[in-house]
A and B are shown apart, each in its own frame.
Chain A
Protein backbone atom coordinates (compact mmCIF):
# COMPACT_ATOMS: atom_id res chain seq x y z
CA UNK A 1 0.00 0.00 0.00
CA UNK A 2 2.76 2.44 0.94
CA UNK A 3 4.78 1.56 -2.15
CA UNK A 4 1.69 1.93 -4.33
CA UNK A 5 1.08 5.40 -2.87
CA UNK A 6 4.70 6.41 -3.43
CA UNK A 7 4.58 5.23 -7.04
CA UNK A 8 1.54 7.44 -7.74
CA UNK A 9 3.21 10.37 -6.01
CA UNK A 10 6.29 9.84 -8.14
CA UNK A 11 4.21 9.81 -11.35
CA UNK A 12 2.42 13.01 -10.35
CA UNK A 13 5.48 15.06 -9.33
CA UNK A 14 7.30 14.08 -12.51
CA UNK A 15 4.61 15.39 -14.86
CA UNK A 16 5.34 18.55 -16.79
CA UNK A 17 2.30 20.28 -15.25
CA UNK A 18 3.55 19.69 -11.70
CA UNK A 19 7.09 20.75 -12.56
CA UNK A 20 5.94 23.88 -14.32
CA UNK A 21 3.97 24.97 -11.22
CA UNK A 22 6.40 23.85 -8.48
CA UNK A 23 9.78 24.75 -9.95
CA UNK A 24 11.91 23.85 -6.94
CA UNK A 25 11.89 21.61 -3.88
CA UNK A 26 10.87 22.41 -0.33
CA UNK A 27 12.39 25.68 0.97
CA UNK A 28 14.63 23.81 3.42
CA UNK A 29 17.94 25.07 2.01
CA UNK A 30 19.14 28.65 1.54
CA UNK A 31 19.23 28.19 -2.24
CA UNK A 32 15.61 26.93 -2.37
CA UNK A 33 14.47 29.69 0.01
CA UNK A 34 15.86 32.27 -2.40
CA UNK A 35 14.24 30.45 -5.36
CA UNK A 36 10.86 30.57 -3.60
CA UNK A 37 11.08 34.33 -3.31
CA UNK A 38 12.21 34.68 -6.91
CA UNK A 39 9.69 32.36 -8.57
CA UNK A 40 6.50 33.17 -6.63
CA UNK A 41 4.67 36.25 -7.85
CA UNK A 42 3.13 36.99 -4.43
CA UNK A 43 6.29 36.46 -2.40
CA UNK A 44 8.50 38.36 -4.82
CA UNK A 45 6.62 41.55 -3.90
CA UNK A 46 8.56 41.47 -0.66
CA UNK A 47 12.05 43.04 -0.68
CA UNK A 48 14.93 40.62 -1.14
CA UNK A 49 16.56 41.75 2.08
CA UNK A 50 14.77 43.17 5.12
CA UNK A 51 16.35 44.50 8.29
CA UNK A 52 15.62 42.38 11.33
CA UNK A 53 13.96 45.30 13.12
CA UNK A 54 11.65 46.04 10.22
CA UNK A 55 10.26 42.49 10.34
CA UNK A 56 8.74 43.13 13.77
CA UNK A 57 4.97 43.40 13.62
CA UNK A 58 5.23 46.34 16.00
CA UNK A 59 7.16 48.27 13.37
CA UNK A 60 4.72 48.07 10.42
CA UNK A 61 1.60 46.64 12.15
CA UNK A 62 0.98 45.00 8.72
CA UNK A 63 -1.12 48.00 7.80
CA UNK A 64 -0.10 48.17 4.14
CA UNK A 65 -0.74 44.46 3.71
CA UNK A 66 -4.09 44.81 5.48
CA UNK A 67 -5.07 47.60 3.10
CA UNK A 68 -4.20 45.36 0.15
CA UNK A 69 -6.18 42.51 1.74
CA UNK A 70 -9.24 44.76 2.04
CA UNK A 71 -8.81 45.81 -1.61
CA UNK A 72 -8.86 42.14 -2.67
CA UNK A 73 -11.93 41.51 -0.47
CA UNK A 74 -13.68 44.51 -2.04
CA UNK A 75 -12.84 43.36 -5.56
CA UNK A 76 -14.24 39.85 -5.00
CA UNK A 77 -17.40 40.86 -3.11
CA UNK A 78 -17.90 43.75 -5.55
CA UNK A 79 -17.95 41.38 -8.52
CA UNK A 80 -20.65 39.35 -6.75
CA UNK A 81 -22.76 42.44 -6.11
CA UNK A 82 -22.45 43.41 -9.79
CA UNK A 83 -24.42 40.28 -10.72
CA UNK A 84 -27.56 41.77 -9.16
CA UNK A 85 -27.13 45.54 -9.18
CA UNK A 86 -28.24 47.64 -12.16
CA UNK A 87 -27.30 51.36 -12.14
CA UNK A 88 -30.78 52.47 -13.19
CA UNK A 89 -32.50 55.09 -11.00
CA UNK A 90 -35.78 53.18 -11.25
CA UNK A 91 -34.43 49.92 -9.86
CA UNK A 92 -31.08 50.57 -8.12
CA UNK A 93 -32.68 50.99 -4.67
CA UNK A 94 -34.81 47.85 -5.12
CA UNK A 95 -31.80 45.87 -6.33
CA UNK A 96 -30.05 46.73 -3.05
CA UNK A 97 -33.18 45.76 -1.09
CA UNK A 98 -33.34 42.48 -3.02
CA UNK A 99 -29.85 41.63 -1.81
CA UNK A 100 -31.36 41.46 1.66
CA UNK A 101 -34.55 39.53 0.87
CA UNK A 102 -34.35 37.72 -2.46
CA UNK A 103 -30.76 36.55 -2.75
CA UNK A 104 -29.13 33.98 -0.50
CA UNK A 105 -26.15 35.50 1.35
CA UNK A 106 -26.85 38.78 -0.47
CA UNK A 107 -26.75 40.75 2.78
CA UNK A 108 -23.56 38.94 3.74
CA UNK A 109 -21.78 39.93 0.52
CA UNK A 110 -23.08 43.49 0.72
CA UNK A 111 -22.00 43.89 4.33
CA UNK A 112 -18.60 42.34 3.62
CA UNK A 113 -18.22 44.94 0.87
CA UNK A 114 -19.40 47.79 3.08
CA UNK A 115 -17.31 46.95 6.13
CA UNK A 116 -14.23 46.15 4.05
CA UNK A 117 -14.61 49.61 2.51
CA UNK A 118 -14.75 51.25 5.93
CA UNK A 119 -11.82 49.14 7.10
CA UNK A 120 -9.77 49.99 4.01
CA UNK A 121 -10.18 53.75 4.53
CA UNK A 122 -9.22 53.30 8.18
CA UNK A 123 -6.20 51.11 7.45
CA UNK A 124 -4.95 53.53 4.76
CA UNK A 125 -5.04 56.35 7.32
CA UNK A 126 -3.31 54.24 9.97
CA UNK A 127 -0.73 53.06 7.43
CA UNK A 128 0.13 56.64 6.48
CA UNK A 129 0.24 57.64 10.14
CA UNK A 130 2.69 54.82 10.83
CA UNK A 131 4.83 55.79 7.83
CA UNK A 132 4.86 59.37 9.08
CA UNK A 133 5.82 58.51 12.67
CA UNK A 134 8.61 56.14 11.64
CA UNK A 135 9.94 58.72 9.16
CA UNK A 136 9.60 56.23 6.33
CA UNK A 137 8.53 58.98 3.90
CA UNK A 138 12.05 60.43 3.85
CA UNK A 139 14.42 60.00 0.87
CA UNK A 140 14.88 57.63 -0.88
CA UNK A 141 11.22 56.81 -0.22
CA UNK A 142 9.69 60.22 -0.97
CA UNK A 143 8.52 59.02 -4.41
CA UNK A 144 6.59 56.15 -2.84
CA UNK A 145 5.04 58.53 -0.28
CA UNK A 146 3.60 60.55 -3.16
CA UNK A 147 2.28 57.38 -4.83
CA UNK A 148 0.74 56.55 -1.46
CA UNK A 149 -0.97 59.93 -1.28
CA UNK A 150 -2.45 59.30 -4.75
CA UNK A 151 -3.67 55.90 -3.53
CA UNK A 152 -5.27 57.62 -0.53
CA UNK A 153 -7.14 59.97 -2.85
CA UNK A 154 -8.24 57.04 -5.09
CA UNK A 155 -9.43 55.13 -2.00
CA UNK A 156 -11.50 58.08 -0.84
CA UNK A 157 -13.01 58.66 -4.29
CA UNK A 158 -13.80 54.92 -4.57
CA UNK A 159 -15.54 55.15 -1.21
CA UNK A 160 -17.45 58.23 -2.26
CA UNK A 161 -18.59 56.86 -5.63
CA UNK A 162 -19.73 53.64 -3.94
CA UNK A 163 -21.73 55.75 -1.51
CA UNK A 164 -24.10 56.88 -4.29
CA UNK A 165 -24.93 53.44 -5.66
CA UNK A 166 -27.68 52.40 -3.13
CA UNK A 167 -29.61 55.43 -4.45
CA UNK A 168 -31.27 56.27 -1.14
CA UNK A 169 -31.69 59.72 0.42
CA UNK A 170 -28.35 59.47 2.21
CA UNK A 171 -26.55 58.68 -1.05
CA UNK A 172 -28.31 61.38 -3.05
CA UNK A 173 -27.61 64.22 -0.63
CA UNK A 174 -24.08 63.11 0.24
CA UNK A 175 -23.16 63.28 -3.42
CA UNK A 176 -25.06 66.53 -3.89
CA UNK A 177 -22.94 68.05 -1.12
CA UNK A 178 -19.78 66.54 -2.60
CA UNK A 179 -20.54 67.93 -6.04
CA UNK A 180 -21.10 71.39 -4.50
CA UNK A 181 -17.54 71.08 -3.25
CA UNK A 182 -16.41 70.26 -6.80
CA UNK A 183 -18.16 73.41 -8.00
CA UNK A 184 -15.97 75.40 -5.59
CA UNK A 185 -12.73 74.05 -7.12
CA UNK A 186 -10.38 76.94 -7.97
CA UNK A 187 -10.11 77.81 -11.68
CA UNK A 188 -12.15 74.83 -13.01
CA UNK A 189 -15.28 75.12 -10.79
CA UNK A 190 -18.04 77.66 -11.47
CA UNK A 191 -18.14 78.80 -7.82
CA UNK A 192 -14.41 78.63 -7.14
CA UNK A 193 -11.80 81.41 -7.20
CA UNK A 194 -11.18 82.53 -10.79
CA UNK A 195 -13.75 79.99 -12.03
CA UNK A 196 -16.29 82.53 -13.40
CA UNK A 197 -13.44 84.58 -14.84
CA UNK A 198 -12.34 81.50 -16.80
CA UNK A 199 -15.84 81.27 -18.27
CA UNK A 200 -17.08 78.31 -16.21
CA UNK A 201 -20.79 78.02 -15.43
CA UNK A 202 -22.88 75.15 -13.99
CA UNK A 203 -23.17 73.93 -17.59
CA UNK A 204 -19.49 73.37 -18.32
CA UNK A 205 -17.37 73.14 -15.15
CA UNK A 206 -15.71 70.18 -13.40
CA UNK A 207 -18.86 69.35 -11.39
CA UNK A 208 -20.81 69.05 -14.66
CA UNK A 209 -18.26 66.53 -15.95
CA UNK A 210 -18.48 64.58 -12.68
CA UNK A 211 -22.28 64.46 -12.54
CA UNK A 212 -22.99 64.27 -16.26
CA UNK A 213 -25.41 67.15 -15.67
CA UNK A 214 -26.24 69.90 -13.22
CA UNK A 215 -28.05 67.73 -10.67
CA UNK A 216 -27.51 64.21 -9.33
CA UNK A 217 -29.54 62.03 -11.71
CA UNK A 218 -29.42 58.98 -13.97
CA UNK A 219 -26.22 60.04 -15.75
CA UNK A 220 -24.56 60.62 -12.37
CA UNK A 221 -25.51 57.14 -11.19
CA UNK A 222 -24.09 55.60 -14.37
CA UNK A 223 -20.88 57.67 -14.21
CA UNK A 224 -20.30 56.81 -10.57
CA UNK A 225 -21.00 53.14 -11.29
CA UNK A 226 -18.42 53.03 -14.09
CA UNK A 227 -15.89 54.94 -11.99
CA UNK A 228 -16.53 52.73 -8.96
CA UNK A 229 -16.50 49.34 -10.68
CA UNK A 230 -14.07 49.85 -13.56
CA UNK A 231 -12.01 53.04 -13.88
CA UNK A 232 -10.90 53.67 -10.29
CA UNK A 233 -10.08 50.04 -9.39
CA UNK A 234 -7.90 49.81 -12.51
CA UNK A 235 -6.08 53.04 -11.66
CA UNK A 236 -5.72 51.88 -8.03
CA UNK A 237 -4.28 48.54 -9.17
CA UNK A 238 -1.78 50.34 -11.41
CA UNK A 239 -0.58 52.62 -8.61
CA UNK A 240 -0.49 49.67 -6.18
CA UNK A 241 1.80 47.83 -8.59
CA UNK A 242 4.11 50.87 -8.62
CA UNK A 243 3.82 51.19 -4.83
CA UNK A 244 4.81 47.56 -4.20
CA UNK A 245 7.58 47.70 -6.79
CA UNK A 246 9.09 50.75 -5.05
CA UNK A 247 8.92 48.99 -1.66
CA UNK A 248 10.87 46.12 -3.18
CA UNK A 249 13.45 48.48 -4.67
CA UNK A 250 13.81 50.80 -1.65
CA UNK A 251 13.54 48.13 1.06
CA UNK A 252 11.91 48.64 4.46
CA UNK A 253 13.12 51.46 6.64
CA UNK A 254 13.44 50.80 10.33
CA UNK A 255 15.80 50.12 13.19
CA UNK A 256 18.77 47.85 12.62
Chain B
Protein backbone atom coordinates (compact mmCIF):
# COMPACT_ATOMS: atom_id res chain seq x y z
CA UNK B 1 0.00 0.00 0.00
CA UNK B 2 2.90 2.35 0.79
CA UNK B 3 4.64 1.57 -2.50
CA UNK B 4 1.37 2.18 -4.34
CA UNK B 5 1.11 5.58 -2.65
CA UNK B 6 4.69 6.43 -3.53
CA UNK B 7 4.03 5.35 -7.09
CA UNK B 8 0.90 7.48 -7.47
CA UNK B 9 2.54 10.46 -5.76
CA UNK B 10 5.54 10.17 -8.05
CA UNK B 11 3.38 9.90 -11.14
CA UNK B 12 1.18 12.83 -10.17
CA UNK B 13 4.29 14.84 -9.31
CA UNK B 14 5.84 14.08 -12.68
CA UNK B 15 2.62 14.93 -14.53
CA UNK B 16 2.15 18.13 -12.51
CA UNK B 17 5.76 19.16 -13.04
CA UNK B 18 5.46 18.56 -16.77
CA UNK B 19 2.24 20.58 -16.86
CA UNK B 20 3.75 23.51 -14.96
CA UNK B 21 6.87 23.38 -17.15
CA UNK B 22 4.82 23.34 -20.34
CA UNK B 23 2.70 26.25 -19.12
CA UNK B 24 5.74 28.29 -18.10
CA UNK B 25 7.32 27.58 -21.49
CA UNK B 26 4.55 29.62 -23.10
CA UNK B 27 5.63 32.85 -21.31
CA UNK B 28 8.99 34.03 -22.73
CA UNK B 29 11.25 36.26 -20.63
CA UNK B 30 11.98 38.58 -23.55
CA UNK B 31 9.60 39.82 -26.24
CA UNK B 32 10.84 41.43 -29.44
CA UNK B 33 8.24 44.19 -29.60
CA UNK B 34 8.60 47.95 -30.07
CA UNK B 35 9.58 49.58 -26.73
CA UNK B 36 6.70 50.97 -24.67
CA UNK B 37 8.94 53.50 -22.91
CA UNK B 38 11.00 55.64 -25.29
CA UNK B 39 12.63 59.09 -25.70
CA UNK B 40 11.42 61.58 -28.29
CA UNK B 41 13.95 64.44 -28.02
CA UNK B 42 13.92 67.68 -26.01
CA UNK B 43 10.84 69.98 -25.60
CA UNK B 44 12.66 72.64 -27.66
CA UNK B 45 12.26 70.46 -30.77
CA UNK B 46 8.47 70.83 -30.63
CA UNK B 47 6.77 74.09 -31.61
CA UNK B 48 3.28 75.29 -30.66
CA UNK B 49 0.38 73.11 -31.76
CA UNK B 50 0.11 69.46 -32.85
CA UNK B 51 3.22 67.65 -34.10
CA UNK B 52 2.29 64.79 -36.45
CA UNK B 53 5.80 63.47 -37.19
CA UNK B 54 5.87 60.55 -34.71
CA UNK B 55 2.44 59.12 -35.62
CA UNK B 56 3.72 56.38 -37.91
CA UNK B 57 6.77 55.38 -35.89
CA UNK B 58 5.43 55.71 -32.33
CA UNK B 59 1.65 56.10 -32.74
CA UNK B 60 1.62 59.39 -30.79
CA UNK B 61 1.00 63.10 -31.29
CA UNK B 62 3.11 65.60 -29.40
CA UNK B 63 1.08 68.73 -28.57
CA UNK B 64 2.39 72.00 -27.12
CA UNK B 65 0.16 74.77 -25.82
CA UNK B 66 0.91 78.02 -23.96
CA UNK B 67 1.24 76.18 -20.62
CA UNK B 68 3.32 73.16 -21.62
CA UNK B 69 3.55 69.89 -23.51
CA UNK B 70 1.60 66.62 -23.59
CA UNK B 71 1.53 63.44 -25.67
CA UNK B 72 -1.68 61.91 -27.06
CA UNK B 73 -2.03 58.29 -28.14
CA UNK B 74 -3.07 58.00 -31.82
CA UNK B 75 -5.68 55.33 -31.17
CA UNK B 76 -9.37 56.14 -31.78
CA UNK B 77 -11.45 55.44 -28.67
CA UNK B 78 -14.30 54.04 -30.78
CA UNK B 79 -12.77 50.85 -32.26
CA UNK B 80 -9.03 51.46 -32.24
CA UNK B 81 -8.26 52.84 -35.72
CA UNK B 82 -5.59 55.53 -36.21
CA UNK B 83 -7.17 59.00 -36.74
CA UNK B 84 -5.62 61.54 -39.12
CA UNK B 85 -4.54 65.07 -38.22
CA UNK B 86 -6.07 67.88 -40.30
CA UNK B 87 -4.03 71.02 -39.66
CA UNK B 88 -6.39 73.33 -41.60
CA UNK B 89 -9.37 72.28 -39.42
CA UNK B 90 -7.30 71.81 -36.23
CA UNK B 91 -9.10 68.45 -35.79
CA UNK B 92 -8.31 64.75 -35.64
CA UNK B 93 -10.68 62.72 -37.82
CA UNK B 94 -10.91 58.94 -37.74
CA UNK B 95 -11.25 57.40 -41.23
CA UNK B 96 -13.12 54.31 -40.00
CA UNK B 97 -16.37 55.63 -38.52
CA UNK B 98 -15.92 59.39 -38.48
CA UNK B 99 -15.03 60.18 -34.88
CA UNK B 100 -13.73 63.74 -34.53
CA UNK B 101 -11.41 65.05 -31.78
CA UNK B 102 -10.05 68.50 -31.07
CA UNK B 103 -6.41 69.29 -30.17
CA UNK B 104 -7.09 68.60 -26.47
CA UNK B 105 -8.47 65.15 -27.30
CA UNK B 106 -12.14 66.06 -26.60
CA UNK B 107 -14.72 64.28 -28.74
CA UNK B 108 -16.49 66.84 -30.93
CA UNK B 109 -18.24 64.41 -33.26
CA UNK B 110 -18.80 60.78 -34.22
CA UNK B 111 -19.34 57.58 -32.21
CA UNK B 112 -16.27 57.71 -29.89
CA UNK B 113 -17.48 57.19 -26.29
CA UNK B 114 -14.41 58.65 -24.54
CA UNK B 115 -11.70 61.27 -25.12
CA UNK B 116 -8.28 60.45 -26.56
CA UNK B 117 -5.77 58.88 -24.21
CA UNK B 118 -2.79 60.92 -23.06
CA UNK B 119 0.44 59.02 -22.41
CA UNK B 120 2.69 59.39 -19.40
CA UNK B 121 5.56 61.87 -19.96
CA UNK B 122 8.60 62.97 -17.96
CA UNK B 123 11.91 64.73 -18.56
CA UNK B 124 15.08 62.67 -18.38
CA UNK B 125 17.24 64.25 -15.69
CA UNK B 126 20.47 63.50 -17.55
CA UNK B 127 19.93 64.55 -21.16
CA UNK B 128 16.70 66.55 -20.78
CA UNK B 129 14.80 64.47 -23.34
CA UNK B 130 11.07 63.73 -23.09
CA UNK B 131 10.47 60.15 -21.95
CA UNK B 132 7.11 58.72 -23.09
CA UNK B 133 5.48 55.79 -21.32
CA UNK B 134 3.11 54.48 -23.98
CA UNK B 135 1.24 52.08 -21.69
CA UNK B 136 0.61 54.66 -18.95
CA UNK B 137 -2.71 56.16 -20.07
CA UNK B 138 -4.72 59.10 -18.74
CA UNK B 139 -8.43 58.41 -19.21
CA UNK B 140 -10.64 60.90 -17.27
CA UNK B 141 -14.45 60.58 -17.32
CA UNK B 142 -15.72 63.14 -19.88
CA UNK B 143 -18.76 65.43 -19.42
CA UNK B 144 -21.47 65.40 -22.07
CA UNK B 145 -22.01 68.95 -23.41
CA UNK B 146 -23.76 70.34 -26.53
CA UNK B 147 -20.29 70.67 -28.14
CA UNK B 148 -19.33 67.05 -27.38
CA UNK B 149 -17.56 65.00 -24.68
CA UNK B 150 -15.34 67.42 -22.75
CA UNK B 151 -12.73 67.25 -20.00
CA UNK B 152 -11.40 70.31 -18.14
CA UNK B 153 -7.79 71.22 -18.95
CA UNK B 154 -7.09 71.52 -15.20
CA UNK B 155 -8.03 67.84 -14.79
CA UNK B 156 -5.80 66.77 -17.65
CA UNK B 157 -2.74 68.94 -17.18
CA UNK B 158 -1.35 67.11 -14.16
CA UNK B 159 1.77 65.06 -13.50
CA UNK B 160 2.79 62.66 -15.01
CA UNK B 161 0.78 63.46 -18.13
CA UNK B 162 1.91 67.04 -18.63
CA UNK B 163 5.25 68.86 -18.77
CA UNK B 164 4.80 72.54 -17.74
CA UNK B 165 6.96 74.85 -19.84
CA UNK B 166 7.49 78.58 -19.48
Interface pair B28/A105, CB less than 8 Å apart? no
Which residues from 68 to 104 on chain A have a C-beta closer than 8 Å to any C-beta of chain B?
80, 83-84, 98, 102-104
Interface pair A105/B29, CB less than 8 Å apart? no
Q: Report the minimum CB–CB distance from A105 to chain B (whole Å).
A: 5
Which residues from 90 to 127 on chain A have a C-beta closer than 8 Å to any C-beta of chain B?
98, 102-106, 108-109
A-B interface contact total, Cβ < 8 Å: 26
Q: Report the minimum CB–CB distance from B4 to chain A (whole Å).
A: 17
Contacts of A109 in B (CB 8 A): 25
Contacts of A103 in B (CB 8 A): 25, 28-29
Contacts of B21 in A (CB 8 A): 104-105, 108
- Using CB atoms, name the residue of chain A closest to B24: A104
Interface pair B28/A84, CB less than 8 Å apart? yes
Interface pair B25/A106, CB less than 8 Å apart? yes
Contacts of A102 in B (CB 8 A): 28-30
Q: Report the minimum CB–CB distance from A11 to chain B (whole Å).
A: 25
Which of A102, A104, A108 has the most CB atoms of chain B within a 10 A radius of its CB?
A: A104
Interface pair A83/B30, CB less than 8 Å apart? no
Contacts of B27 in A (CB 8 A): 104
Which residues of A come within 8 Å of B, CB atoms?
80, 83-84, 98, 102-106, 108-109
Which residues of B come within 8 Å of A, CB atoms?
21-22, 24-30
8 A–B contacts, CB within 8 A, in A order: A83-B25, A98-B28, A102-B28, A104-B21, A104-B24, A104-B25, A104-B29, A105-B21
A-B pairs, top 5 by smallest CB distance, nearest first, are A104-B24, A102-B30, A105-B21, A105-B25, A103-B28
